[in-house]
Amino acid sequence: MTAPPPPFSGLHHVSALTARAERGHAFYTRVLGLRLVKRTVNQDDPRMYHLFYADGAGSPGTEVTFFDFPRAAREHRGVNSVTRTTLRVTGPEALTFWADRLTRGGVPHGGPVPRDGRLHLDFEDPDGTLLSLIDDGGEGPRGVVNPLTDVPAAFQPQGLGYSGFTVADLAPTRALFERGLNLREVRTYPTGEFTTHVFRMGEGGPHADLHVTGRDDLPRHRPGAGGVHHVALRVRDEAELRGWLAHLEEAGYPNSGPVDRHYFQSVYVRDPNGLVIELATDGPGFTTDEHLETLGERLALPPLLEPRRAEIEARLRPLVLERA
């Protein structure tokens, strides 16, 4: 048997579907204070924009990304899906700030509520993506300050927290997480009358856990706007990614093989419940084709697509995004 690869260092990014990219851009930059760090296309379907929001430097572990599909109907919520995306802030004062800011922005939200030992502020984005700001207590990596927002540096999101999944049958997801991804179940907590299981990457923390709730009372979800397509986990470099690829194949999990996304290298695996998990390297990063100061200001295309720029730009709909 091959030696197990090093554990993941946390979440890398979360990718969702939007029906109105302009509205989403206003929300994530003007309300949540994130920075648009890459304006590109879906490499598998370049007729579709792919927008990346993150901290001030586009750091791995801070990215929320969106595929733009203007005709998409809303997601039909249900099991076998990602049902919570969290962003980390630090301290109860930050949650008070955000409750006031969301209220002033006309964004409905719950009050700070304890869940799994941390305070959560629950709300939705304009497409209906389920979000929470959580108090990380100062744990986890610190995001780079975004100078382009009016959100005070002390209250800016520090990066992704955990992702929450809801499944009809816990067993195959547990098998993938434990055998395929080398995660450990470390605790459970009640979610209403059901139980949520927490799976840990490495030493864990609010940025390095996956929460899975088993429920038998919901229909199967149908993809659409507001739904999360996949969650990506952080791998340090291509050597580690090759190690994970060998491990997945040895464990008997079909996968995509290596995929060059230009800004990072990836491998995708799907569990029997239909959940898509991506393994993504930290580099080379978003400054490989743009300067840090001007990230996200122009349409960036990977080298594979650059020769088709005129064709791709002609087929893309006009996208007018106001500066934050």
CATH label of the domain that carries residue 116? 3.10.180.10
Residue 281 — φ and ψ, nearest 5°?
-75, 155
| Dihedral sign, Cα of residue 10, residue 16, residue 21, residue 26 | negative
| 320 inside domain | no
Note down the domain range covering 311: 11-315
139-185 confidence digits (pLDDT tens): 999 999 999 999 999 999 999 999 999 999 999 999 999 999 999 99
Give 194's contacts (C-beta < 8 A, 6+ positions apart): 213, 214, 215
DSSP string for 92-104: HHHHHHHHHHHHH
By C-alpha distance, which of 243, 164, 154 is closest to 199?
164
Question: How confident is the model over 103-122, as a mean pLDDT?
Answer: 97
In this prediction, residue 1 carries a pLDDT of 66
| 107 inside domain | yes
Question: How confident is the model over 61-74, as a mean pLDDT?
Answer: 96
In this prediction, residue 324 carries a pLDDT of 67
Angstrom distance (rounded) from CA 261 to CA 301? 10
Residue whose token pair is 């930059």: 29
| 4 inside domain | no
Share above pLDDT 70 across residues of the chain, in percent, rounded to a whole number: 99
| 51 close to 21: Cβ distance less than 8 angstroms | yes
Angstrom distance (rounded) from CA 118 to CA 128? 23
268-292 confidence digits (pLDDT tens): 999 999 999 999 999 999 999 999 9
| 6 inside domain | no
Domains contained in the chain, number: 1
Residue 219 — φ and ψ, nearest 5°?
-70, 170
CA 78 to chain centroid? 19
Strand, helix or coil for residue 145: coil
Angstrom distance (rounded) from CA 54 to CA 61? 8
| Dihedral sign, Cα of residue 178, residue 82, residue 209, residue 278 | positive
In this structure, what token pair is assigned to residue 322?
């106001």
Across all residues in the chain, what is the average pLDDT?
97
In this prediction, residue 212 carries a pLDDT of 98
Angstrom distance (rounded) from CA 186 to CA 184? 6
| 321 inside domain | no
Q: At 241, which helix (H) or strand (E)? A: helix 238-250
Q: For the CA atoms of the chain, what is the radius of gyration? A: 19
183-236 confidence digits (pLDDT tens): 999 999 999 999 999 999 999 999 999 999 999 999 999 999 999 999 999 999
CB atoms within 10 A of CB 301: 19
| 18 close to 317: Cβ distance less than 8 angstroms | no
**Model pTM score:** 0.97
In this prediction, residue 23 carries a pLDDT of 96
Is the model more confident about 297 or about 322?
A: 297
| 324 inside domain | no
Is a pLDDT exceeding 80 seen at residue 2? no
Beta strands in the chain (DSSP E): 11-18, 35-42, 45-54, 63-68, 81-89, 113-115, 118-124, 130-135, 159-167, 184-191, 194-200, 209-214, 228-235, 259-260, 264-270, 276-284
Residue whose token pair is 């002609």: 314
